[in-house]
Each structure stands twice: as C-alpha cells, then as structure tokens.
Structure 1
Amino acid sequence: MHPRNLHKNGYPMDALCQSFPALKPFVVRAKSGNASIDFTNPNAVKMLNTALLLHYYQLQYWDIPDGYLCPPVPGRADYIHGIADLLKLSERSDETIRGLDVGVGANAIYPIIGATTYNWTFVGSDVDDKSIKNAKAIASKNRALANKFSVRKQADSTCIFNGVIKSDGRFTFTMCNPPFHKSASEALAGTRRKTSNLARNKQKRGSGNQAPVKNANLNFAGQANELWCEGGELAFIQRMIKESVDVKDNVEWFTCLVSKSAHLKPIKTSINYYQAAQCKVVEMGQGSKVSRFVAWKF
C-alpha cells in the first residue's frame, strides 16, 4: 500500500471496537490467532467499514442503504494518496484543491478520505437519486465534511462531465471508479467468483464453513449503475476521455481507475488521439492485488 495509507499495517480490531462497539459481535478469531471478520458476511463488512471511517477519518456518522456498494476502505485510500502525489507537480496548497468524484455513490468514500486527510473540497456526482440522498446525509451529519463536500445530480445518464461541470466551474482533478462489467449477468458471475474465492479462503483459515455461493448477490452489494454499463469499463473510460475535451479548460487533471491492465493500451491511444498534453499511469498495490489509475491533462 501507499506509505501514507493509514491501513497498511492491518486492522487494529480492539481499537476499532472501542471507536464503534457495534463491530464487536462480528469479530472472529482466524486460524492464525489474529482477530478478523467474516468477509463473506455483508453485515460484518459494513460494520468494519463504519468502524474504519469513524476511527481514522473523524466521522460521527456513516451508513449506506441495503443493496448499495460497500467499498474496501484501504484500496480507496490508495487512490486518494496517488492523486495527492500527482498534484505535487502543481504549486498548490491543500486548501485550494477541489475534486470531482464522478459516481460518488451512496458511500461517498473518496470525498470522506480526501477531505479529512488533505483538507480538499469535493463535488460528488451521481445518476442515482437514492445515492445522492445518502451522500448528502453523510455530508450533513459529519463536522469534518462541513463546507467540504456537496453533491450534484447527473440528470443525463449518457453524460459524465456535461451537465455537472458548469461553464465557470473549476476543478483541480476529477476521479472515478468506473462500472467494470458489460452486463448485469457478467456482474453477477463476477460477484459469484469473488464470493466463492472468499469462501474457500475462509475455509482454509479455519474460520467457519464455506458460505453458499448462491447468496453471492447478497454478499457483495451494488446497484446496476455501480457495477456495469454498456461496453464495460473500457467503453466508459473512452467516453470519459472524449467528454474531457469539452471541459479541458475547467479541469487540471482527469483521472480514472483502470481494473484491467489490458485496457491501458487502447486508453492511452484515445488520450493521444484527443491530443492531451500529458498522460500518466499510477500503479497501486494492496497485497497480491495490483491496480492502477490513469491520469491525463490538456
């Protein structure tokens, strides 16, 4: 993980339970003897997320509706720290940095980490009314986010920046965790694979019986707009690159997560086609998992 990631040394379960006592019933003892949770249990994952956000990021309140994406906090924090490193190329104080989180979701995870860690301000956009309502509730119920985070509705689901970035609006950066899958059936199949892998790992650790894969859609939540779009990740990012030309005078750096390394070549081709002045790929690692985000500017 990034050296500034607060979660690089694991989860201090005792301290987390003190910050959020509701986590305590979900703590289990792994085969190694370390305290952990059952990551195939969606309620346990949600409780862990809440504890992390209250313990590390000065929140008093965090919640998401049933069926909405519950993000892994450590990996999300790495994206924020990677952007912070990118912005060191610019002579700016943290107080002047303003970010746009495209697809902020009900969880509002990126504005939470960015505002409390670096004192940045954020606008979050989304097409989903329930996500917008929940993100606004998170913004209004936490002192650390006061005057730091606002939410805008993207009224046209075919657009990414258009309609959200106003003609006089200025952003230091944009960020996005794009829909990964090409269809609902592909998203469900991916979720089932993930659940099955976690269940096998759980059995190896000796922390319980294997969870039934048939409940995969319950274990890893997410609305359709969070999980899939026509053409999948690559088509979404290429559409984002095309739209970025229209708002190039309003944004210093455009960034987006890229899950598949095979997508990098066509993404770079698109960025070059639209004559961006710079293009960077920032690698990130969480354990054996490697991820990255692409960044470009005009």
Structure 2
Amino acid sequence: MNSKKEVSKHGVTGKPKLHPRNPHHGRYDLAELCASQPDLKTFITLNPKGEQTIDFANQQAVKALNSALLKHFYHVEHWDLPKDFLCPPIPGRADYIHYLADLLADSNNGETPHGKHIKGLDIGTGANLIYPIIATHAYQWKMTGTEVNKIAFNSAKLITEANPRLRNSVSIRQQKSEKMILNGVINSTERFHFTMCNPPFHASAEEAQAGTQRKNRNLNKGKNANKARHQVTLNFGGQQDELWCEGGETAFIKTMITESTELKDQCLWFTSLVSKKEHLTDIYRALKKAKAVKFRTIEMAQGQKVSRFIAWTFQPQDEHSNWFINP
C-alpha cells in the first residue's frame, strides 16, 4: 500500500476480502459519500494519476470519511469524536459483526438471527460506538456498550441520544472499576447472546508509541522525517485505555476468560479480537484451564491484513438453539 492510502472516486484501491455481507466491498463512491456528508469534500485531493483520494495520515480526513460512511450506510446523522480518541476503520469493524452473525447462525440451526431479542455486549465500546451502530443496523440486535473512560462514555451516550435510530436499540453503561472487564456491568438476571471486545493490544505506553511511530512512518514515506515524528500525536487517535494495558492483550483476554467463568450461564458466546496470532497459544491454554466447552478462532481478511477473534462458550451444543427462542 502506498504511503498515502489512495481512494479513487469509487474508493479504496486493491481487493479486500471482506465478509460477503459487508457493504464496504470494492471502492468507495466518493460522490455518493460527499452527497451524504458535504464536509468530506474539503479533504478530497487528486493523486499523481489525477484520481480523487484522501490522505489517511490526516486524522480529520479520516474522521470526515467515517462520518460520511456512517451516515450513508448506517443512517447515523450525528456522529463525532472527542479530540485524540480512536477513529476506527469501519470496513474491518463491520467484518467482526458479520462473522459474529455467522457464529450465532451456527448455534441457531444455520439461521442468521435478526431482531432485538438478540442481545450483545460490546466491552469498551469507545467514544466512537462503532460496533453497536453496525450491529443494530445490520441485524437489528439490541446492544449494550460498556466504557471505563468517562470522556468516551459521555461521547458514546451523546451519539446514542443524538440519533433516534439508536435510542431504542443501544444502551451505554460505565464500568466503574479499571480492574474489571465483564464483572460489574452484567446484572445478575441478564442474558446475552454474545460479548465482543477490541482489547488494548500494547503492553505499555512506550510500546504503543513505538507502534504509532511505525504506522506513521508507513503513511509518511518520502516525507520529511521530522514532520513525520511531529505528526505522531496529530494523526492517530487513541487514549491509554484504548491502546495499552499492563500485560497487553494477552493479560486482558485472560482476565476476561477468568471473569467469564463466573458468568458462564448468562452468555452464549464470549468473544474478543486478538491482534497477534502468537498470542493464541496462551489464550488457548487459559480457555482449557477455564474448562470452556468449546472455543473457536475465526479469521477475517481485509486486503493483505489478516485479523481474528477468539470465541468461547460454556454451553453444551445441544442447548445452543434454546437461546434463540424469541420470547
């Protein structure tokens, strides 16, 4: 991929291998997106070939593109982010939702479940609220987002309250303890069909900064090195609890697995993204120790990038279909 990720008038170049139901296949139609969100026009430039593009190293440009995508594809009229919070790539985020739907279908006699009787929990929903937005639009699921960061919590609530479509489908809860993940946000009488999570994947602030610098260099090849270093904090959003935690994602997911054993009868599938394949061995070991009945690793491909999420359950297979009886 070029240092300035190119978008033709139809969208991202290349051939991403997204989930078949993901609406972001092929290239973005920038004319349609600008019609939905006129502010995007400000960030469109021409590449050396005379094709329309935006600079993905410009955080404001990415934010404007996300706003346009959410408005055009998901009917979200009002969406914004606090300064320096994570601005996620929507096509990849949508893949997690669609592969989750396939996982649920496998437990539901092959039928992809739709409707508000399907309840999902997004752990660390972030200031952007991306997963609940996509899940409620694509499958009409009822979503609950949790957030420990007060600013992110307020932002997620604001997005929910500002969009009528989300008010009846999404609720936001604040996790009061930085040491807990699932505990403290699931009530004793609640049942969820799934949990999902995009955990902080770095083990320290220094590791997160180094990762940001590498990403920045890739986006700024051929540009002035000092300018590139200066842009590290300008181009990439993300707060501490979005990017790193002590022990990194392995420790975070292992804590989630431990907590899930206490809630095993209140959720059908627990899931989490895993950024590095080499972390799976320790995670599998933790799942065996926790006596999960079944666990699966589901891979997702976006162009040259392969991502994955781990899913585990404590429910016997012959009881899965009972979770989908609409009361």
Please state if 1:278 is matched with 2:299.
no
Q: 1:297 aligns with which of 313, 316, 325?
A: 313
Give me the whole-angstrom Cα distance separating, in 1, the residues matched to 2:306 and 2:208: 20
Partner of 1:89: 106
The DSSP-based 3-state class of the residue aligned with 1:10 is coil
Give the partner amino acid of 2:162.
K
Letter in 2 for 1:19: S
Displacement, 1:158? 0.2
Q: Which amino acid aligns with 1:107?
A: N
TM-score under structure 1 length normalisation: 0.95
Return the alpha-carbon distance in structure 1 between the equivalents of residues 39 and 238 of structure 2: 23
Q: Deviations over 1:45-69 (max 9, x none)?
A: 1000000000100111100100111
Determine which of 170, 185, 208 is the counterpart of 2:206: 185
- How far is the alpha carbon of 1:277 from its aligned partner? 0.7
Question: Cα distance, 1:81 vs. partner?
Answer: 0.5
1:74 alignment partner, one of 88, 91, 112: 91
TM-fit CA distance, 1:214: 2.5
Query: 1:38 maps to what in 2?
Result: 55
How many residues in Structure 1 have an aligned counterpart in Structure 2?
Answer: 292
Q: Match for 1:191: what amino acid?
A: T
- Per-residue CA distance 1:204-230 (angstroms, 9 max, x = gap): xxxx87852222121101111000000
Give the whole-Å Cα distance in 1 for the aligned partners of 2:54 and 2:280.
35
Distance 1:58 1:296, change over 3 A: same
The C-alpha deviation readout for 1:185-238, integer Å capped at 9, x for no partner, is: 1111110100110112xx5xxxx8785222212110111100000000111011
- In the alignment, structure 1 segments of 5+ residues that lack a partner are none
Distance 2:228 2:182 in 1: 40
9-18 vs 253-262, greater mean Cα deviation: 9-18
Distance 1:118 1:143 in 2: 17
Residues 215-274 of structure 1 deviation map (CA, whole Å, 9 limit, x = unaligned):
212110111100000000111011111110011111000000000000111111111111
Q: Separation in 1 of the partners of 2:39 and 2:292?
A: 48
Post-superposition CA distance 1:121-173 (Å, at most 9, x none): 11100111111111011111112212100000100110001110111011100
RMSD of aligned alpha carbons: 1.3
1:223 maps to what in 2?
239
TM-score, normalization by structure 2: 0.87
Moved more, 24-33 or 82-91: 24-33
* Structure 1: distance between partners of 2:123 and 2:302: 23
Q: Following the alignment from structure 1 to structure 2, what is the Cα–Cα distance between the partners of residues 25 and 174?
A: 38
Q: Identify unmatched segments of 5+ residues in structure 2.
A: 1-17, 315-327
Q: Does 1:153 align with 2:169?
A: no
